[in-house]
Amino acid sequence: MKRLLIALSVAAVVASPASAQQLRIGLQEDPDILDGAKNWTFVGRLVMQALCDKLVDIDTKANIVPMLATSWTATEDGRVLTMTLREDAVFHDGEKLDAAAVKFSLDRALTMPDSRRKSEIAAIQAVEVKDAKTVRIEMKQAFSPLLAQFADRAGIIHSPKAVQAAGNDQFGNKPVCAGPYKFVERVAQDRIVMERFEGYRDKDKFPPGRLVFLPVPDTTVRVANLRSGQLDLIERMSPNDVEQVKANKALGFASATSLGYQGLTFNIANGDRAKGPFGANVKLRQALDAAIDRETLVNVVSGGIFTPGNQPVPPSSPFYVSDLPVPKRDVAKARQLVKDSGVANPSFTMLTPNTDIAKQAMEVIQAMAREAGIDIKIQTIEFVTMLQQTREGRFEADYVGWSGRIDPDGNIANLLSCKSAGNDGRYCNEQVEKLLQQAQLSVDPAVRK
């Protein structure tokens, strides 16, 4: 598990009156498309959090709380969810947000060919408008993670009028939502600009009049720009910079263990690139797993700030299985598995985001793998480009982060379910699929675990 490290310049934040304030935020990558049905990146989620309200949200303890929906009820069999909407929500184009808009957004996410939300809410059978502020969602079968999905991008509601005017392909270039800030402009790899939406119901809770998101992949440059006053806040930073940031009285610092994780994804069945030795041979993948020392990895890369993980939920989660601890490194086992694989001098290329910490982590893994007789070739690549290549099957393996979901199903099914849009490696296992479906049907935490 990673810790989310955030730093901000205290002096810059209070330097000007709230109404005129401009907040410059340094991002680790440039986000992908700003369309709730298509967005897939962590930074995209951060940007869209300012732009788009969702049906529900989560609090600091990961509890689901009202947002666009003020209340909700489910039938005893779990197949129907009825949501009551707030009456003061307005889109940035002035259109009122009502049950018809909710139906439009959910139907779009379910039917659009390139929707990233389709598999997340595939349990939905029909969305019905009961009246202007009441929407009824019927499921094919009980699906316990649905409400949690609505706390993420599946719950983002877009203006039907704006979507229809722009078309599905172009809407993400000028999105219209109902959040505290409205879209102004975007220059790829340079900036995303928003202005405070004066029609927002709680606008006084959002003092900055303008937000400017600036992608700065080099963490050293991000911290330097923060210290010099060119940035007011940065998301994620190198653990190596933590102490200097904490020591600077002009800067504030915050961290929290995230719901997400970093991992290695192999192409198992997504096109011709899956035919490489590691995509085709499970023993080689097991060998690499045995060769990695997770404790050393996090100590070298994060100074011990990150938490070693081997499960799709953090140790603090009630779904964490304590009987399955993080495995110790076993080089002898790794070498034997390589021998058993029958592949001489196994090698593969690992796509790696062009950020300092990602490159450093992969270099450590590369050195560990070499001791087991595995050669990893590292190919650094711009993050959104990497996501596109993996989606199209143009990869053997990639080093990628998953930003996490509050329901454990979102951390597993989104990446490993046979038909999930996020399953870039096309892993598909009938037993796993059956277990995931059983967990989705139950509302009993013990049964789901």
**Closest to 19 in 3D by CA, of 207, 211, 212:** 207
Q: Does 355 share its domain with 219? A: no
Say whether pTM exceeds 0.85: no
Would you state the pLDDT for residue 15?
31
Task: Report the CATH number that the domain containing residue 134 is assigned in CATH.
Answer: 3.90.76.10
Q: Does 222 share its domain with 271? A: no
Q: Does 94 share its domain with 60? A: yes
Q: Does 133 share its domain with 265? A: no
Amino acid letter at 185? E
- State which of 213, 231, 257 marks the end of a domain: 257
Would you state the pLDDT for residue 303?
81
pLDDT in tens, 231-265: 999 998 888 888 889 899 999 988 877 788 899 99
207 or 237: whose pLDDT is higher?
207
Q: How far does CA 262 lie from the centroid of its chain?
A: 11
Q: Does 283 share its domain with 295? A: yes
Q: How far apart are CA 162 and CA 200, in angstroms?
A: 18
Q: Does 426 share its domain with 302? A: yes
- State which of 161, 190, 213 marks the end of a domain: 161
Count the Cβ atoms, other than its own, within 10 Å of residue 398: 24
> And the tokens for 234?
């940065």
Q: Does 440 share its domain with 327? A: yes
Measured in degrees and rounded to the nearest 5, phi and psi for residue 407 equal -100, 130
Amino acid letter at 16? S
Q: Does 295 share its domain with 317? A: yes
pLDDT exceeds cutoff 60 at 315 = yes
Would you state the pLDDT for residue 353?
94
With b for 16 or more beta-carbon neighbours within 10 A and e for fewer, the 103-124 pattern comes to bbbbebbbebeebbbbbbbbbb
Q: Does 168 share its domain with 25? A: yes
Measured in degrees and rounded to the nearest 5, phi and psi for residue 62 equal 65, 25
Q: Does 16 share its domain with 65? A: no
Tally the domains of the chain: 3
pLDDT in tens, 331-374: 999 999 999 999 999 999 999 999 888 999 999 999 999 999 99
Q: Does 98 share its domain with 28? A: no
**pLDDT, mean of residues 94-112:** 98
Give the domain extent around 142.
56-161
The string of DSSP codes covering 193-225 is EEEE-TT-TTGGG---SEEEEEE---HHHHHHH
Q: Provide the pLDDT confidence category of residue 277 given band limits of 50, 70 and 90.
A: very high
- State which of 238, 257, 276 marks the end of a domain: 257
